[in-house]
Each structure stands twice: as C-alpha cells, then as structure tokens.
A and B are shown apart, each in its own frame.
Chain A
Amino acid sequence: MATEVAGAHGHDEPDHLAPYLSPEAGRGIKGWLLTLDHKRIGLMYLVSTLLAFFMGGVFALLVRLELFAPGRTIMSAEYYNRAFTLHGAIMVFLFIIPAVPGALGNFVLPIMLGTKDVAFPRLNLLSFYVYLFGATFALYSIISGSVDTGWTFYTPYSTTSNTSVVSMVLGAFILGFSSILTGLNFIVTIHKLRAPGLHWKRLPLFVWGTYATSIIQVLATPVLAITLLLLAAERTFGLGIFDPALGGDPILFQHFFWFYSHPAVYIMIVPGMAVASELFATFSRRAIFGYFAIAMSSLGLALVGFLVWGHHMYTSGQSEFATTLFAALTMLVAIPSGVKVFNWTATLYKGSIVLTTPMLYALSFLILFTIGGLTGLFVGALSVDIHLHDTYFVVAHFHYVMMGGTVMAFVGGILYWWPKMTGKLYDESLAKKGWFFVFVGFNTTFLIQFIMGSKGMPRRYYDYLPQFETYHKISTVGSWLLLVGFLLTAWALIKSIRSGEKSPPNPWGSAGFEWQGTESPPVMQNFRVTPTITRGPYDYHLCSDEELFDGFPEDAEK
C-alpha cells in the first residue's frame, strides 16, 4: 500500500527527540503555554472546554430555576432571554464542537496512529489560541450587554436586537477558524503520519470518526463564517442582506445558517460515536462488530448531513417542494445511525463485559442516543413535525442526542483515557455514584420535556400556562440531580489528581494502540521506539494474556 510507505517514511532514521518535544522545552508555565506537544495542547483544550461546559451549565441551571414556578422566579424576561441564549451559544460553540476533537482527539489521535505528534504542531497550538481569542470575544459580548437572540441568531431579530450581537457573532466566526485548523491538521495527520503497518483497515474507529468529523469541519464551517460576517456587516453598515426592512431576505439567513449548523450536529455527535466505539470494544474485550460498517456510516452521516438542512425550516414558508425533498432526505439519516446502534449491540454478544464507569457511560450513550434517534422519526415525519416544531419536544430530542449522546461519550472518554492522560487512577465507586446521578438526573430533566412538547408547550418561553407547571417543576428538579452527578464526577477527578494511585500502562486491559505501546502518561515523544503495527486495535484474540491482564488487581488474580 502506497500510504503505508508514506506513513513509514521519516521513521526510518534512528529514533530521536524532535526539538519541541525535548524535556527542556517542557518546564514551567512557558513550557505549557508555548508547547507544541499535542498531549499538552489536548489537556489545555480539556481544561478550557470543561470550563465552558461549567459556564454553559450554570446558565442552564438558571434557566431551569426560572421555570420552576410560574411568573417571575429569579430574573426578568430580558435576562431569561440572555440566559438561554448564552447557554446555547456557549454549549455549542465553546464546548461541544471543540470538546471531543480538541481535548480527546488531540491527546489520543497521534498516539493511536503511532506517531510523535500531529502533522502541523504549530498550527495545532495556533488553533488553541484562536479558540481562546474567539472565546474572549464571546466573553466580551457577555459582559457588554450580552446577547438575547438565541444561539441561532435568526434575522431580522438579530439585526434589530440592541444587545451585543456583533461581538458574539465575531466570536463564533473566530471559533470557526479554530475548528477548521484542527480538522485540517487531523486529516493530514491521518493520511500521512500512520505508523508502519497501520493501514486504513486497522485504523481505530475513534480515528475514523475523527476523520469524518474533520471533513465536515473543513467543508461546512466556512459557510457559517460567511453567514456571520454578512450578519455583522448588516448590523454595522446597514447592508440589506437578511433584514426585509433593508430589502433583504430573512429566510436566506436560515438557509445559510442551517447549511452549516445541520452538518455541525454531526461535528458534535460523530466524535461521541467514535468514543463510544472504543469504550464498547475495550470493556467487552471484543472487536467491534461490523467495523467497516461503523467506519463507513460515520462518513455516510458526514455526507447525508450536508443534504438535510431544510428540515429545520418546515414551517418557515420555504416552498412545499423543498420541504418535501428535505423530508425525504432526512429519513436517510436513520440508516447510518441505526447501523451503528445495531453494531454496538452485536459487539456485546459473547464479549467479556465489565461495568466500569466508562462502560456505564457507553451504555448510557447507547440508551439515550437510541431515544434521541427514535424521537428524530417524530420530527422527521412532516405532518407530525408541524405540530412538534419549536416545542419542548424538539428541545428534548436534541438534548437526548447532544447531551445523552455526545456528553455521555465525552465524560466516558475522559474517565477512560484519564489514567493515560494523568498517569493516575480515579476512585471508581465515587465516579459510579456520579454516573448514577447524571443518568437519573438527565432522564428526569428531559424525558418529561417530550410530554410537555407534544402537549404544545413552545420553547424559549420565560413563563408558561398553568397546565404545564408540573412538568416544568419535575424537569427543574432533574437539573439539580444532574448538578450533583457532575459535581461528584468532578470531585472524583480532582481527588485522583491530588491523591490517585499511579496507573499501570494499560489499566483496562485494552488491545488499543494507545494503551499497548505507551507508558501512563506517555513520554514526551509518545514512544521510545517507533511502533510497527502488526494487528488491529481490537484483535483481542491475538493478544497474549500478559498484554491484557496487567491492569486492575482483579485481573492480576486470574
């Protein structure tokens, strides 16, 4: 294979440390801020995205608290509108899009490929600083009047709102570049830097998922950039593009916006699927069933994701023909999603399954994503969507996919790779308690929202008619359980850093490349000797007992 030769090239010389990976470069705060090491950049992304998750979560809790009782509870309607906008904007642009690729992808992907770093380490650092720069704009917007447009910035509301829309929009514009740079870097890395013997059919599914995500990031994000720039230009210079009062077309904005933001849904969920595939394999000690189908379904989702943006606009007044066409194409999304769910389930068959906390998160992912996917059928079917559009049913649907899917996989992935990233084990029983509250809290918060929505409760409402009060109360209590769950999980991680036991190289007994060939945490250059890959990442039947059973004490006894 030609690619194999290319991948092997450069590893022929004797192993040496690239200058930016030498131990001298790594000391002190400067060693972190100016590092070109993908592992450190990954950890900086992890800290930043978790901070963003915390901020977005605080706004979510405020929104739910306001809705606990009818009438004004803790804030005015104007501030409620800002709170739900910031919850959405922060969670989408600062957390969920960069989280898995930026934090887990940066750390794990080069190690999985058996290489010392990504293809363009400087570009990698740049993407992190571009992220911080974009985040600064978003923060500036928050303190200078904030935004009340919803994260979707629909015109002409967003062109006439007197809140700080331009800086938030520019923030999202800049964050897009960070996303593009990361995607580009990963595509090149996957093509050019695979270790000898690591051909495409041996790529871990996490790599396949990241690859599909990167393609969407590179192709779709520029459209968002143009759209947001036009919006900023309309606000600043009065150009008539979207605002009908200036001769523009507000529906055009929705087309532009969803042309990016629907593929962006797959930028968010495909990495979650990629993490889940790794978790199912490791904790079942079995190769993923239908490896090729899972890899291709990620690319399939990336492709179909570009063709269905109009399904956000069934009631908008777009032509009936367009609506019908988008509705037909939308049904296709169910195929690759279903293929994945069936394959993960089949992977469990005749496995050797252990319910560690990451595996509990993987199973939660399977359960909640299945609900998220099936409720997609309701909003995909045209006539039913007319009733459910812009109600809490849709809110619940995308939270089951985004939070029940991606966030569960992300937390599972953090716990799974935690020993590799930090070299320390965490308290399993504490983390399991955290998982319990997260799982129960999530379902308490969002399951009830399906019922609320199908009964006709519209979304983005500061207050509600009396018939919806009980549902809102239950949902708010659920948000408190979620908070408890995440605090317990955070405590488990902090405790691990402060006093966790040292982790062996492969505590889970995984056959994955990132566990087999490296120490915990990996040395600066990842590998002491450039690995030559001789088997697949899930070939448990080819692993010796020593390779698989040197982790937790209960494995050592066997």
Chain B
Amino acid sequence: METMQLPPQWSTFARQTDWLFYFIYWLSVVLFVGIIGVALYFVWKYRRQPGVKAEPTGHATVLEITWTVSPLALLAFLFHMGFRGYIDMTVAPADAMEIRVRAKKWAWDFEYPNGGHSNVLHVPVNRPVRLTLSSEDVIHSLYIPAFRVKKDAVPGYYTTMWFEATQVGETDLFCAEYCGAAVGTTEVSEGDPPVGREGNRRHVGHFSMITKVRIHTMADYNTFLESILRPPVDPATGREATPEKWGEILYRAQQCNTCHSTDGGAMTGPTWRGLFGRQRQFTDGTSATADANYIRQSILQPNSKVVQGFNGVMPSFAGTLRDNQVDAIIAYIRTLN
C-alpha cells in the first residue's frame, strides 16, 4: 500500500514526502466520497416527482461560515508539513560531497571532485551529496523519482540540490523541463536509453535525456572515482583503449553522434568523415584549414567559427572534456579520412 503509487523510497526525503502525499491522498478520498456521495444521494432522493415542488432555499449562516473558515486550519497544516519537507531539501549538510552537474541538449555531464566526468550519476550510499547545476543552452531539470528530488538547471545561474541515498542499486534520472528534440534520427549505440526507437535508429530529445543514478558502497565508490581518470577499457582488446579508440567511445558517450555523422551525411552539424585537413568556409566570410587547433577550438568554443550552411547551436565542451580527451577525439577524427 505504501508504494502503490509512488516509486521506491531510496532517499532520506522519501519517507517524509510520502507521508504527506498519502495524508493528502486519504484526506481527498474522504472529502471526495463525502461531498460527491451526499450530492448523488440528493440527486436520487430529491428527483423530480409529480406534485412535489422544490423547497425554497433558506439561509444557514453558521453552516456557511463553518465551511468557509474551518478548512483554513487544515490548509495551514498542509502548508506547514510541505514547508518542513521543502526546507530540509533546501539546506544541505555542511559535510555533503560536491558533484558538479552540467546539462545540455540532450545529455547530462557529472563532474566529481577529482576532476573526472561521467554521463551516469554515481553517488555513495548513506552520504549526503550536493549537486551544483548549470545549463549550457536551455532550461533542463534534474529529476530522480526514487529520491523525490527535482531542480531546474538554468543557463546563466547556478542552482543547487542535495540528497542522501539510502539504498545501493540503480534507478532512473530524468530531464523534467521540456528542451526540444534533434532533427532526424541517429544511430543506436550501447548505453543509449531505450526510448525513441525507429527500427535500428533512434530519435533524440527531451525524452531521451534520461540516464541512471548508480548508488555504490563507499569502497565501490572510491574504485569508481579512480577509474574515471584513466582511459576506458577497450572491449576488443581488454586493455586500456588507444587514443583513437577512446575518441570513438567519447563520440558516442558525449553524444557527438546526435549532430555529427561519420558517414559523410550532414546532420545538425557537419560530418566528421574526411574533415581533417579540409578547407572550411565560415559564415563570417573567413576560411581556415581544419587542423588540430581548429578542431580543438570547435570543441571548446564551438560558435566562434560556424561553417557555412549550419547554425551556431553547438554547446561548448570546455570544462566537460579534459585535454587528453580532446586529444583522443582529434585522433579519432583523423582516422576518418
């Protein structure tokens, strides 16, 4: 019964929020059955019958004042309980672990205190975690139903939220503020959320800005933190990936593939096939050769030079990608010639 309508209670907030939810739920059931039950009984009892007239409406001042004033006490109580829960969610404990969250269309980037990044949110169990959110384009909203928390990521602002997970495991993380969709479809790769499929391709947008929260024991969490600073393991060789292979993994993990193809076709952005060393014409009339410096600039300050025929809509990856990751992507692009 407790979780008939709500997700599992996986944070310290869940119990308090759910208590108020079910209090209002049963209050509503009682009021609804009471009011509508009485109304329907009247409809039956005072149905129109030959020779029976309606009685003139009188006044019942006491009754009217009662049902105008007495709900105030109940409403004050509901406000108070909601306020208490909200204030708990607002003020993070001083010893909370910090994670930096950057939202952009249509992926999350989580940065940990050691400088490592991930697209899945990893948190330790039984330890308060404070998230500082920002957005690089439009408004997004980070929502974890099992924790009962939600906060908008707003461009030009920092917003913060915190929680303490109470259970080791994996649960869903959604974007809750509408943020559009990509033009066309993109190829499906491993780790993509199971939404928006059309045959063997997928649509990308607000609805696919879904990832997971993985809650670890403290020991597992420390192992995770160490692992994110090294290149990932190449599944083909079982060893640390080469820069080229790492670039290919980042191409999917950083969602470059939602706007850049590797087969020569134009999507929201130019293709990467045959890009390296080619002459580029820009919208401001200038031109340049696509060398390593150009590609690095395009990743970190993407709208400083926009190729003719495209719009400057790419978010910056400065602060998201470390230098060796940018190197890896350049190495990967070079393999596409």
Contacts and interface: CB of A to CB of B under 8 A. Distances in A.
Contact of B57 (A78, A80, A347, A382): A347
Interface string B243-272: 000000000000000000000000000000
Contacts of B141: 315, 390
Interface stretch (B191-199, B220-228, B278-286): B191-199
Interface in B154-212: 154-157, 159, 172, 174-185, 193-198, 203-208, 210
B31 interface: yes
A77 B78 contact: no
A551 to B, nearest CB: 12
Nearest to A389: B150
B17 interface: yes
A77 B17 contact: no
Given A381-B78, A387-B145, A349 B181 contact: no
Given A72-B197, A77-B205, A250-B156, A323 B39 contact: no
Contacts of A287: 56-57
B138 A72 contact: no
A44 interface: no
B86 A386 contact: yes
A-B interface, 10 closest residue pairs, ranked by CB to CB distance from nearest: A383-B85, A456-B145, A244-B156, A381-B82, A382-B82, A348-B42, A77-B181, A382-B86, A77-B203, A461-B207
Interface in A8-26: none
Given A293-B64, A317-B152, A463 B28 contact: no
Interface string B33-49: 00110111011001111
B139 A286 contact: no
Nearest to A381: B82
A309 interface: no
Interface in A347-401: 347-355, 363, 366-367, 370-371, 374-375, 377-378, 380-387, 389-391
B194 A244 contact: no
B235 interface: no
A327 B82 contact: yes
A455 interface: yes
B46 A284 contact: yes
B102 interface: no
Given A287-B57, A463-B208, A454 B5 contact: yes
12 contacts: A70-B197, A157-B179, A161-B180, A332-B75, A345-B42, A347-B57, A387-B17, A387-B21, A387-B150, A456-B146, A458-B143, A461-B207
A320 interface: yes
Interface stretch (B65-73, B112-120, B292-300, B323-331): B65-73
B38 A286 contact: no
B56 to A, nearest CB: 4
Contact of B24 (A335, A381, A387, A466): A381
A245 interface: yes
B84 interface: yes
A37 interface: no
Interface string A311-334: 000111100100110011001101
A285 B151 CA distance: 52
A289 B86 contact: no
A85 to B, nearest CB: 9
Contact of B159 (A317, A367, A374, A391): A317
Majority DSSP secondary structure for residues of B touching A:
mixed
A130 interface: no
A52 B51 CA distance: 45
A342 interface: yes
Given A348-B42, A378-B24, A389-B150, 5 more contacts: A342-B67, A366-B39, A371-B32, A382-B82, A456-B143
A208 B176 CA distance: 39
Contacts of B36: 366-367, 370
A117 interface: no
A349 B27 CA distance: 24
Contact of B157 (A317, A349, A354, A460): A317
Given A320-B90, A465-B210, A331 B79 contact: yes
Interface string A147-175: 01010001011001110000000000000
B62 interface: no
A27 interface: no
A81 B55 CA distance: 54
Contact of B17 (A160, A250, A383, A391): A383
Nearest to B154: A317
Nearest to A162: B311
A331 B75 contact: yes
B229 interface: no
A129 interface: no
B206 A316 contact: no
A379 B279 CA distance: 56
B13 interface: yes
B298 to A, nearest CB: 18
Contacts of B180: 81, 148, 157, 161
A390 B81 contact: no
Given A315-B150, A377-B28, A382-B85, A353 B43 contact: yes
Interface in A540-558: 540-541, 557-558
Contact of B183 (A78, A338, A353): A78
A293 B203 contact: no
B149 interface: yes
B302 interface: no
A454 to B, nearest CB: 4
B53 interface: yes
Nearest to B25: A378
B271 to A, nearest CB: 20
B148 interface: yes
Q: Which of B54, B196, B206 has the most CB of A within 10 A?
A: B54
B290 interface: no
A339 interface: yes
Contact of B39 (A161, A345, A459): A345
A471 to B, nearest CB: 11
Interface in B101-159: 137-139, 141, 143, 145-146, 148-152, 154-157, 159
B313 interface: yes
Contacts of A71: 195-198
A540 B52 CA distance: 13
B12 interface: no
Contact of B46 (A352, A557, A558): A352
A375 B25 CA distance: 8
B203 A76 contact: yes
A156 B28 contact: no
A413 to B, nearest CB: 19
A459 B93 CA distance: 31
Nearest to A385: B82
Contact of B151 (A315, A332, A335, A370): A315
Given A454-B5, A462-B207, A156 B137 contact: yes
A461 B47 CA distance: 46
A341 interface: yes
